[in-house]
Chain A
Amino acid sequence: QKEVEQNSGPLSVPEGAIASLNCTYSDRGSQSFFWYRQYSGKSPELIMSIYSNGDKEDGRFTAQLNKASQYVSLLIRDSQPSDSATYLCAVSRASKIIFGSGTRLSIRP
Chain B
Amino acid sequence: DAGVIQSPRHEVTEMGQEVTLRCKPISGHDYLFWYRQTMMRGLELLIYFNNNVPIDDSGMPEDRFSAKMPNASFSTLKIQPSEPRDSAVYFCASSLAHQAFFGQGTRLTVV
Binding site for B on A (CB under 8 A): 31-32, 34, 42-46, 49, 88, 90, 92, 95-102
Given A100-B42, A101-B42, A102-B42, residue A95 in contact with residue B102 (CB < 8 A): no
Q: Which of B55, B99, B104, B105 has the most CB of A within 10 A?
A: B99
Contact: B100 with A43, CB < 8 Å? Answer: no
Complex interface residues of chain B between 53 and 111 (CB less than 8 A to chain A): 55-56, 91, 93, 95, 98-105
Interface SS, A side? strand
Q: What per-residue 1/0 map shows which CB atoms of B18-46 lie under 8 Å from chain A?
A: 00000000000001010100000111010
Would you list 13 pairs from A and B whose C-beta atoms are within 8 A, ordered by A residue? A31-B98, A43-B91, A43-B105, A44-B102, A46-B101, A96-B45, A96-B56, A97-B33, A97-B48, A97-B98, A101-B41, A101-B42, A102-B43
Q: Are A99 and B91 in contact, CB atoms less than 8 angstroms apart?
A: no
Interface size on B, residues (CB 8 A): 22
Q: Quick check: A99 and B99 within 8 Å, CB to CB?
A: no
CA distance A32 to B43 in the complex (A): 18
Q: Does B13 contact A (CB under 8 A)?
A: no
Q: CA A44 – CA B92 in complex, angstroms?
A: 11
B4 to chain A, nearest CB (A): 9
